[in-house]
Amino acid sequence: MPFTLHGLAVSQGIAIGHVHLVSHALLEVNHYHLAPRHLPAERERLDAAVAEVRGELDELRVASGQNPAHSEVGAFVDVHLMFLDDPMLVDAARTLIDERRCNAEWALVQQMELLVEQFDQIEDAYLRERKADVIQVVERLVKVLLGQPGRLPRKRKESLGTIVVAHDLSPADTLGFRDHDVAGFVTDVGGPTSHTAIVARSQGIPAVVALHNVRQLVEDNELMIIDGTRGVVIIDPDERILEEYRLRKTELELERSKLQRLISARPTTLDGEEVSLLANIELPKDAVLARKVESDGVGLFRTEFLFLNRHALPDEDEQFEAYRAALKNMGGAPVTIRTLDVGADKALEAVGKRSTEANPALGLRAIRYSLAEPKIFKTQLRALLRASHYGKLKILLPMLAHAHEMDQALSLIALAKEQLRERKQKFDPKVEVGGMIEVPAAAMALGMFVRRLQFLSIGTNDLIQYTLAIDRTDEAVAHLYDPLHPAVLKLIGGTIQVGARYGLPVSVCGEMAGDPAFTRLLLGMGLRLFSMQPNQLLGIKQEVLRADVGELAPKVQRILKMDEQERVHEAVERLRV
């Protein structure tokens, strides 16, 4: 019997495929007590799981040894094998089975929690970081005990893809979908501008989030349709529904292909205003997509994706190569590279999650993290500066709020330049440094930014989150996430105006820039630099080509004076007719 679920549409398009359930093993561990006569069998279950995980790790070890590019994998396998053999983990869990008569999964998780607590107390940062490895080893063991395959299936033989169904996914998980045949994904939780959703859009993977209990309602291999435009998910569709969605999918693809004819048109408005359309990228290879749609450059390279999904941080040379590759892939166009923005929904696995953080979006994130970890920051700055010798590279600092953050970051850049001079390594001495305006405090105190920086970029995703005090990843408050709230518009409009007054380029690189519903509004505010996912660029270009800024500007000035949300919504809607 087909049935339908409604959630939040976060990444457009239609996907039709077979369900692949992915679980967060540690969240789903059952706790139960065993009768004494069952204890020996439970210990054997644990031993069998340990043997299976050891087999998996040995296999990985051999595979990584055969490929020099994967030497780093070999190193983490060694660490995992070491923990697997450590009496503090498996032996202790075995004792817990006997003493507390608990099931093997529960015993492992209890022991893991104890070890994690001990790791948190360690002063040495390297050793403290190994906590993440313990968690991963336990996760592997629990998955085997629960009988769940941990990995995504490789490409299927039939033409339908895989639809990943999970309680939650991290941005790093989603990035891994690139290498698999994932047609779309749906999750129980999540918000429209969470990084998981952004990565899905950048890969063109249809996705619906905030479905509450989809994981409980579907089974592995069931047929599923995702309508990522309307936020609808259909499970077990009949032939008639399937046919309708196949048709809609073809229509969408046709619409997309029609936009291709705009590729070489310059984005100029009807009254001759020149606009620059830039691309947001997560990895250097995305620059290839950015170039394919003839973007004017990269407006935002989110470098944190080079740091996620791995057990050791990328060193200076690796980062330098990645930044240089992005410049090369852009063929001489400018590339704005943002320094590490980790924290909140992008936890650095290699460093371990800070368990004390109650409110990560307001915690040690982005520039705050970089300034707290100057060694990591300086390494990145040197890599960026070295790459600046090979093209038009600009450095962008995320989540600034205070003058001293800029001052410290600028001194560290000066220091990094000094170190490169000593090493006789080349860099562009005039490399531009800009800042993200994504905290209301920054948008309301622009003078200190204008005096210190050479360009600004408005991160509307965070600016909305922080202005309206709603967690962008929390579906319970997703309905309050309103880009057209009068307070948000005043901050965006004000920043664009101040930039124009002082001759400082201002771009928007948050999701608003890639949504055609807002293009005319932003143009009317005076915005001329838009940065978005490459696959949104042609749709925005179409809007620009149809807009008349002379006509829009006075209407938008009136909108900026409105203080009733509903009136703003209606007026913005009218800009498009």
- The site partner of 499 among ligand PEP, Mg ion, none (C-beta below 5 to 8 Å per kind) is none
- The site partner of 352 among Mg ion, ligand PEP, none (C-beta below 5 to 8 Å per kind) is none
Which residues ranging from 333 to 392 are in contact with ligand PEP (CB under 6 A)? 341
For Mg ion, give the closer residue by CB, 103 or 533.
533
543 binds ligand PEP (CB under 6 A): no
Q: How far is the CB of 485 from ligand PEP (least distance, A)?
A: 15
Which of 246, 250, 266, 268 has its CA nearest to residue 258? 250
Applying CB under 6 A, which part among 81-89, 115-123, 225-233, 457-465 lies near ligand PEP? 457-465
Applying CB under 6 A, which part among 97-105, 124-132, 169-177, 454-462 lies near ligand PEP? 454-462
471 binds Mg ion (CB under 5 A): no
Which of 402, 410, 399 has its CA nearest to residue 457? 399
d(CA 523, CA 260): 23
143 binds ligand PEP (CB under 6 A): no
282 binds ligand PEP (CB under 6 A): no
Instruction: Give the other-Cβ count within 10 Å of 154's Cβ.
Output: 9
Binding mask 290-309 for ligand PEP (x = CB under 6 A): ----------x-x-------
Applying CB under 6 A, which part among 151-159, 284-292, 453-461, 563-571 lies near ligand PEP? 453-461
Angle at which helices 565-575 and 486-502 pack, to 10 degrees? 60
For 112, phi and psi rounded to 5 degrees? -60, -45
d(CA 446, CA 440): 10
For Mg ion, give the closer residue by CB, 333 or 344.
344
d(CA 168, CA 274): 42
Sheet holding 14-22, edge to edge: 3-6, 232-235, 223-227, 14-22, 161-166, 182-187, 207-209, 8-11
462 binds Mg ion (CB under 5 A): yes
DSSP H or E run through 178: none
Q: How far is the CB of 513 from ligand PEP (least distance, A)?
A: 9
Binding mask 324-343 for ligand PEP (x = CB under 6 A): -----------------x--
Beta bridge partners of 163: 19, 184
d(CA 248, CA 227): 10
299 binds Mg ion (CB under 5 A): no
Kindly state the number of chain residues that form the binding site for ligand PEP, as judged by CB under 6 A.
Answer: 11
Kindly state the number of chain residues that form the binding site for Mg ion, as judged by CB under 5 A.
Answer: 3
For ligand PEP, give the closer residue by CB, 300 or 527.
300
For 458, phi and psi rounded to 5 degrees? -90, 120
For ligand PEP, give the closer residue by CB, 5 or 199.
199
471 binds ligand PEP (CB under 6 A): no
Taking a C-beta distance cutoff of 8 angstroms, is the pair 75, 1 a contact? no
Applying CB under 6 A, which part among 247-255, 403-411, 460-468, 479-487 lies near ligand PEP? 460-468
For ligand PEP, give the closer residue by CB, 227 or 282.
282
* 148 Cβ contact partners less than 8 Å away, ≥ 6 residues apart: 23, 25
Q: How far is the CB of 304 from ligand PEP (least distance, A)?
A: 8
Place of tokens 């704005």: 336
Q: One-letter amino acid identity for 570?
A: E
Among 461, 467, 473, 533, which residue sits at the site for ligand PEP (rule: CB under 6 A)? Answer: 461
Binding mask 437-456 for Mg ion (x = CB under 5 A): -x------------------
Q: How far is the CB of 535 from ligand PEP (least distance, A)?
A: 16
For Mg ion, give the closer residue by CB, 14 or 496.
496
d(CA 536, CA 188): 26
Applying CB under 5 A, which part among 124-132, 221-229, 380-388, 434-442 lies near Mg ion? 434-442
d(CA 12, CA 259): 16
d(CA 353, CA 35): 37
Beta bridge partners of 396: 338, 434
Among 380, 460, 467, 473, which residue sits at the site for ligand PEP (rule: CB under 6 A)? Answer: 460
- Quick check: helix, strand or coil at residue 135? helix
Taking a C-beta distance cutoff of 8 angstroms, is the pair 576, 542 a contact? no
Which of 525, 5, 421 has its CA nearest to residue 214? 5
Between the two ends of the chain, the Cα-to-Cα distance in Å is 41
459 binds Mg ion (CB under 5 A): yes
Among 343, 499, 510, 514, which residue sits at the site for ligand PEP (rule: CB under 6 A)? Answer: 510
Long-range contacts of 146-151 (CB under 8 A, 24+ apart): 146/23, 146/25, 146/28, 146/29, 146/105, 148/23, 148/25, 150/25
134 binds ligand PEP (CB under 6 A): no
d(CA 267, CA 290): 15
* 430 Cβ contact partners less than 8 Å away, ≥ 6 residues apart: none
509 binds ligand PEP (CB under 6 A): yes
Query: Looking at the annotation, which residues are catalytic?
Result: 195, 509
Q: How far is the CB of 521 from ligand PEP (least distance, A)?
A: 16
Q: How far is the CB of 449 from ligand PEP (least distance, A)?
A: 16
Applying CB under 6 A, which part among 15-23, 288-296, 458-466, 514-522 lies near ligand PEP? 458-466
For Mg ion, give the closer residue by CB, 349 or 511.
511
d(CA 71, CA 566): 57
Return the structure tokens found at 373.
Answer: 């970890």
459 binds ligand PEP (CB under 6 A): yes
- The site partner of 509 among Mg ion, ligand PEP, none (C-beta below 5 to 8 Å per kind) is ligand PEP
227 binds ligand PEP (CB under 6 A): no
DSSP H or E run through 190: none
Among 139, 227, 438, 471, which residue sits at the site for ligand PEP (rule: CB under 6 A)? Answer: 438
For ligand PEP, give the closer residue by CB, 459 or 493.
459
Taking a C-beta distance cutoff of 8 angstroms, is the pair 209, 184 a contact? no
Return the structure tokens found at 344.
Answer: 């909140």
Binding site for ligand PEP (CB under 6 A): 198, 300, 302, 341, 438, 459-462, 509-510
Binding site for Mg ion (CB under 5 A): 438, 459, 462
